[in-house]
Amino acid sequence: MAVDVKIPPMGESITGGLLAAWLVKNGDAVRKGQPLFSYETDKVTSEGTAEVDGRITISVEAGTEVLVGQVVASIEAGAAGNAPSAAPAPVAAPATPVAAKSGAAAEISPAVRRLSAETGLDPAALEGSGKAGRVTKGDMLAAIAGQVRIKAVTTASSPTTVATPAARSAPAEVPARVGQTTRKRMSPLRRKIAERLVQAKSETAMLTTFNEVNMAPVMELRKRHGEEFLKKYGIKLGFMSFFVKAVVHALKEVPTVNAQLDGEDIIENHFFDIGVAVGTDKGLMVPVVRDCDQLNFAGIEKAIGDYGKRARDGKIQLADLQGGVFTISNGGIYGSMLSTPILNHPQAAIMGLHNIVERPVVENGQIVVRPIMYLALSYDHRIIDGKEAVTFLVKVRQFIEDPQRLLFGV
């Protein structure tokens, strides 16, 4: 009995997406619960799994736009013991005849056919350098570049001389880059990211303010307690937990930053679900760590580590990305010195972290070297004034430069 493999539902607002890749081959024996394909929507990436043991027959190719509930394969139940078969050979495109002349090849390669379609150059007009006079991709590129003369082609009616690119009176100013570019469709996730970024830029009065923070106190605490922390909780003590805690305390002291605009109403939030941006090969995702005011450092580090792994493995869920009130983006892990992060709409503010560099600073009239990080706060100026934004960023700096304040909330 054949069991249909369908695109699974991903949420009420999601109707379709991209069948990104098959994780098995056509004819493979699969087991119940085995991942079969990866599926990308405009919000999340997920996997479809087998419902029964059996042999799979794939009916929809990877890279195809599909709808929720659409059948993309079938599994013949009970055939799991059979050896997997190789994927079916692709059907060759119909051969394009070339004017037969002194052993010329009877068909042209796909690369030559593509160049012919893109440029309008007839392969039959070239002297082929390949086996048995076959026209190669190199022959086509040389003719397009004007490096060879195109021969005259004689038809039954009258001889016709095909003009060479070199004979054109007005050569193109920019040389053609045939075969040196690739084109692919944006994934649903990338399209959604682009849409939200443009929305944030066009629908908000976004402004960015900056500050710098001395990371020496936090680095000293990590050095002093990091090993014991790892032994007790099984996870490293990172910088992000300090910044999440500092942001929570700063939001409590400057509640306007913990708000968002809804039409003509300002909604002020009294909970602390903080989004932490995670970079993946499919784009930027912002999973939300819930109730950060109630978590200790270990809880925050574990949540961030778990979200990061799931995001990179394509196992993040839609609910993990919704409901945040504030976002932290850490470009410093990639070496960024300074940036102006774009708001994660409809949130009113986002803070960017950057790399730590030893810089000369003045302390008590003396020039000393300290590990300095630049902080950037982008905010919606419609509901957050400059005074509040600067105050918020100064509070964050104070908590980081004197992390013991986090214990007492002062």
Contact (CB, 8 A) for 327 and 285: no
Q: Which residues contact 21 (CB under 8 A, 6 or more apart)?
A: 37, 38, 62
Q: What are phi and psi of 267, to 5 degrees?
A: -100, 115
Residue entry with tokens 């016709």: 160
Closest CA to 240 of 289, 294, 280, 279: 289
Residue-by-residue DSSP string for 207-242? EEEEEEEE-HHHHHHHHHHHHHHHHHHSS---HHHH
Structure tokens at 141: 């590129």
Distance set, CA 151 to CA 47, 100, 154 (Å): 55, 14, 10
Phi-psi category of 69—alpha, beta or left, where left has phi over 0 and alpha has psi -120 to 50? left
The residues annotated as belonging to the active site are 381, 385
**Which value, to the nearest 10 degrees, does the dihedral of the CA atoms of residues 197, 198, 200, 201 take?**
120
Question: What single string gives the DSSP state of each residue in 131-181?
Answer: GGGPPPHHHHHHHHTT-SPPPEEE-SS-EEEPPPGGG-SS--SS---TTS-
Size of the chain in residues: 410
d(CA 39, CA 15): 12
Query: Token pair of 279, please?
Result: 């970079």
Is the link from the previous residue into 346 a cis peptide, with omega within 30 of 0?
yes
Give the 3-state secondary structure of residue 266: strand
Instruction: Give the tokens for residue 361.
Output: 């600073």
- DSSP class of 123: G
| SS3 call for 230 | helix
CB 200, CB 342: distance < 8 Å: yes
